[in-house]
Amino acid sequence: MMFRKAVTMARINRRMVLSETEIQVVHCTNRCVRRANLCGLDPVTGRDLEHRRQWIRDRLAFLAGLFAIDVLSYAVTGNQFHVILRSRPDVAREWKEDEVAIRWWQLFPQRRTREGDAAEPAEMDLKVLVARSAELRLRLSSVSWFMRCVSEVIARWANAEDQCTGRFWEGRFKSTLLSDNAAVLGGMIFVDLNALQTTETSSVENAPCTGLRERLQDLAAVPPDVNRAKAELLVATGEQSGWLSPMRCQEVNEKISGTCSSGQRRASDWCCADLSLIDYRQLAEWTAACVRSGGAHAVLEYPPRVVRGLQLDPTGWLNLISRFSKRRTCSFPLSTISRTGAPSPVATIAGQFSWTWPARQPG
């Protein structure tokens, strides 16, 4: 019997890609393993599981306030969720040992109140955790531990609701390192538009449970007489999206430091892209319209100002978006891994951007 030669490669070990000591941006996704949907209307049982979207959103927001990890954007679809994470070991290094212990206690309390919240830790509890502060500090800036704390809790809640046991997710989460600005922006757009593929809506502001929708909800709550720069600052600390990384940097968020968060809702106030929310929305809407019209072979005329301002090649950009989902499972030969062990998934349009992340300001 003849066998065809396999053309796929084994997936690179996550330890070779993700670093515990470097700032990295990662696209992570996890998919439900069973026929039953993660959320929405279950076609098998007929149950409405829409509330599970809020479960995942609230869990992500809770962890964003405890981990040294920035959440750039997220989306929850019928059978999976996506999230763009930026590890911040530099932020974790600034925490005192007591703060590390308290954050870990909030994640894994040994005692809880009747309401299910973490009970007040005793002095001995904190001493035990302080003795492990070096280990816990690394975990609190680890993308793997962040995803573990999301997936395990959601799986327990869903299994309890379904009155069953066993695996809820396909396996460990899939991750793709976003190694340049083009990849980060493309990843955010891909995640924010992902929900449009599984819902009837064609509007980015109506797509359920996405980072872009939360930001637009906060923007809609800004009084109309507020100027654009002030509106961006209000959105960055908004009620809905205040746990997400700010969209704009530099002069717009001059009060926002690059290292420490001004509140307790996120790890830091370092922005995710040097774009205004209006420009980002225009880019997302134009990208969605092009994809619906046929992808990279149907570039619409008159791209928005932001596309021209970024000196972005429209065809290369749409190729990136249309192939982004495939890059989650593609393999990279060892010879293509850079010094940090990071594959370069967007070499076709790297260097097309005229902007870079602004330098982080000292504490």
> Is the predicted pLDDT of residue 69 greater than 90, yes or no?
yes
Q: Which residue has the higher pLDDT, 358 or 153?
A: 153
State pLDDT tens for residues 72-128: 999 998 888 999 999 999 999 999 999 999 999 999 998 888 888 888 998 999 999
Distance CA 105, CA 302 (A): 53
For the chain, what's the residue count?
A: 363
Q: Is 90 exceeded by the pLDDT of residue 44?
A: no
Mean pLDDT for the chain? 77
Q: Tokens representing 98?
A: 């007591």
Q: Please, what is the end-to-end C-alpha distance for the chain in angstroms?
A: 66
pLDDT tens per residue, range 186-241: 899 999 988 777 655 677 877 888 999 999 988 888 888 887 778 888 888 888 88
Alpha-carbon gap, residue 61 to 344, rounded angstroms: 29
Nearest to 239 by CA among 257, 263, 255: 263
Residue 132 is predicted with a pLDDT of 95
**From CA 37, how far away is CA 45, in angstroms rounded?**
10
User: Looking at the DSSP assignment, which residues form a beta bridge with residue 41?
Assistant: 48
Top pLDDT among 362 and 47 is at: 47
Of 181-185, 240-244, 347-351, the range with the highest mean pLDDT is 240-244
φ, ψ of residue 30 in degrees (nearest 5): -140, 140
CA pair distance 108, 149, nearest whole angstrom: 10
Nearest Cα residue to 26 out of 184, 259, 141, 185: 184
Q: What is the mean pLDDT of residues 306-334?
A: 65
Residue ranges and CATH numbers for the domains of the chain are: 21-95+140-336 (3.30.70.1290)
Instruction: Say yes or no to pLDDT of 328 above 50.
Output: no
Counting residues of the chain whose pLDDT is more than 70, the rounded percentage is 77
pLDDT at 164: 84
Looking up tokens 């690179």 gives 12
pLDDT for 300: 61
With a pLDDT cut of 90, the percent of the chain lying above it is 31
Q: Residue 33, Cβ neighbours under 10 Å: how many?
A: 15
Tell me what pLDDT residue 356 has. Answer: 36
Please tell me whether residue 72 adopts helix, strand or coil conformation. Answer: strand
Contact assessment for residue 77 and residue 110, using Cβ atoms and an 8 Å cutoff? no
pLDDT tier for residue 347 given thresholds of 50, 70 and 90: very low
The reported pLDDT for the residue numbered 350 is: 34
Residue with structure tokens 């046929």?
294
**CA atoms of 75 and 81, how far apart (whole Å):** 6
Helix axes 51-64, 143-162, angle to 10 degrees: 150
> Residue 319 above 90 pLDDT?
no
- Angle ∠(22,24,30) on CA atoms, nearest 5: 130
For 257-313, the pLDDT digits (tens) are: 445 554 588 998 898 887 888 889 989 988 888 877 765 555 666 677 787 777 777
Q: Residue 66's pLDDT is what?
A: 94
